[in-house]
Amino acid sequence: MKTYILYNSKAGNGDAEKARKDLAATCTGEVFEEDITKTDAAALVASLSAEDTVIICGGDGTLNHFANDVYGMEIAPEVLYLSLGTGNDFRNDVGAKAGEPISVKKYLADLPVVEVRDKKCRFINGIGYGIDGYCCEMGDKAKAEHPDKPVNYTAIAIKGLLFHYKPANATVTVDGKKYTYKKAWIAATMKGRFYGGGMKVAPAQDRLAEDGNVTLVIMYGKGKLKTLMVFPSIFKGEHINHTEMVAVHTGKEITVAFDRPSALQIDGETVLNVSEYRVTAGAAVLAKV
């Protein structure tokens, strides 16, 4: 029996390093520790048997990396995930406890695909476009300038809403039906319910639903102060009660276009200067094969 711990030492502001060492000390049999960013996860998984175990240690971005590497494979070994990131939205969505490895094989199937510029990948939580993408962009800059200082995304969001971020007009298409929204602050497409370190942006979304649908949430139409007043309610999922400024759509094929480029985030990874993205739910992708 072999156990492979695939870790991201940069996850959790460096706290992941100690946690994965503690984890290794509890494992039995042969234990191997490898940096997931330097490992061919697909080749590794293909070489293992049902008696072996892979444990992914890191944040949501680390799990995303693994999911894209092994997608479509027959996975023989058990695959566990120890959430060690700063946001841990996947862990919150599936109801796992901090510090407790959970089995994730069932969550790695039927993942949606996002296409943006020259990038095409699957995602586990969601796509943030608008003020959320802006926050990731500013957060990346803050990390580069002060790598040892935690990033305050809430402060970035408030300053962005009040002073710096300018909403765009959005055209969205959901399963062939087109909608337009003026002054779009958020245009998120979700596989899970959470993103941004605890924002319950799509409270009714079920990542294991049989139809495989994803949820698009648009916050739009209001000025800075009204949007700022409603924005905190997103942490409890209560923003959707403000139907005068929040629209929710579900479907299998979703395209979102802004009338000016804006930053976008995919499971926390920032993509700059995006004018349009397209999401195809996993079930829809399989239907075309």
For residues 206 and 215, what is the distance between their CA atoms, to the nearest angstrom? Answer: 9
CATH of span 2-107: 3.40.50.10330
For residues 36 and 33, what is the distance between their CA atoms, to the nearest angstrom? Answer: 9
Domain ranges of the chain: 2-107, 113-288
pLDDT tens-digit series, residues 21-47: 888 888 888 999 999 989 999 999 999
* 31 neighbors 5 (Cβ within 8 angstroms): yes
Low-confidence ranges of the chain (pLDDT < 50): 286-289
Could you tell me which of 130, 116, 105, 99 has the C-alpha nearest to residue 234? 130
Could you tell me which of 15, 208, 23 has the C-alpha nearest to residue 108? 208
Strand order through the sheet with 102-103: 30-35, 2-7, 53-58, 78-83, 102-103
262, β-bridge pairs: 274
SS3 57: strand
SS3 content of the chain, % helix, strand, coil (to 5): 35, 35, 30
Residue 25 buriedness (CB in 10 A; 0-12 / 13-18 / 19+): exposed
Burial of 145-161, coded b for 16+ CB within 10 Å and e otherwise, reads eeeeeebebeebbeebb
Phi, psi (rounded to 5 degrees) for 252: -105, -25
Q: Tokens 């300038």 belong to which residue?
A: 145
pLDDT at 287 (0 to 100): 46
Q: Write down how long the chain is.
A: 289
For residues 188 and 211, what is the distance between their CA atoms, to the nearest angstrom? Answer: 19
* 236 neighbors 267 (Cβ within 8 angstroms): no
For residues 215 and 126, what is the distance between their CA atoms, to the nearest angstrom? Answer: 9
DSSP per position, 71-96? TTS---SEEEEEE-SSS-HHHHHHTP
All residues at 6 or more sequence positions from 106 whose CB lies less than 8 Å from its CB, including other chains: 208
CATH 2.60.200.40 fits 113-288, yes or no: yes
pLDDT at 286 (0 to 100): 46
pLDDT at 8 (0 to 100): 86
